[in-house]
Chain A
Amino acid sequence: NAGVTQTPKFQVLKTGQSMTLQCAQDMNHNSMYWYRQDPGMGLRLIYYSASEGTTDKGEVPNGYNVSRLNKREFSLRLESAAPSQTSVYFCAGRRNTGELFFGEGSRLTVL
């Protein structure tokens, strides 16, 4: 039982490159979330998915796209990376009782 798994854990990109952060959960969560956390700051919600096939914008969606491929997987895509997107990205799944379970994070550096 891995919980919430994020890949890759580390990534370095050049400005303008694209990439996809993968998130998979084996806890049968209906809802999934993507957050970013800049150094010394709190978490900011990028996108979330209430259920398979649905996605909604969070607080800071610009520059990102998401796909809820199935119940298990929720991916985050950066189409044209910018230095301002250097951050740690966390994916989370939410139990029906409300608790969020987070992955270990993906550290992204954009040069």
Chain B
Amino acid sequence: LAKTTQPISMDSYEGQEVNITCSHNNIATNDYITWYQQFPSQGPRFIIQGYKTKVTNEVASLFIPADRKSSTLSLPRVSLSDTAVYYCLVVVGNNAGNMLTFGGGTRLMVKP
């Protein structure tokens, strides 16, 4: 399993773009990267996933460099409601039931 490393916490202000980087140096060829968001007292919620280059959806963008040893979750123009914990996971890409482990996540605080 590829181990992930993220900053423990980040602060931002409303309207700013926030970039959260995750390191996964031992990612394997078939692995892909997934990000989740968790609000207090709720289960994590899937945000985005990708294998390489850039993926964008209505919530966020995910940037993955060519060596795939890191990835960056980009949240455009954050609001107070984006205050949450964000987790990066590396998933073995065989669609089978795999051992999926979460790291400590990044606690994002958005201030007014």
Contacts and interface: CB of A to CB of B under 8 A. Distances in A.
Interface residues of B, number: 25
Contact of A98 (B34, B41, B99, B105): B34
Given A44-B101, A48-B100, A54-B97, 11 more contacts: A31-B96, A33-B100, A42-B87, A42-B105, A43-B87, A45-B100, A50-B98, A90-B43, A98-B32, A99-B46, A102-B44
A98 B102 contact: no
A38 to B, nearest CB: 12
Interface of B: 32, 34, 36, 41-46, 49, 85, 87, 91, 93, 95-105
Given A43-B44, A99-B49, A101-B46, A35 B95 contact: no
B-side interface mostly: loop
Interface residues of A, number: 30
B100 A102 contact: no
Nearest to A49: B97
A41 B104 CA distance: 7
Query: Lowest 6 CB-CB distances: which A-B pairs, in order?
Result: A50-B97, A102-B43, A31-B97, A99-B46, A43-B102, A42-B104
B97 A99 contact: no
A105 B43 contact: yes
B100 A100 contact: yes
B43 A92 contact: yes
Given A42-B87, A96-B95, A102 B101 contact: no
A77 interface: no
Contacts of B41: 105
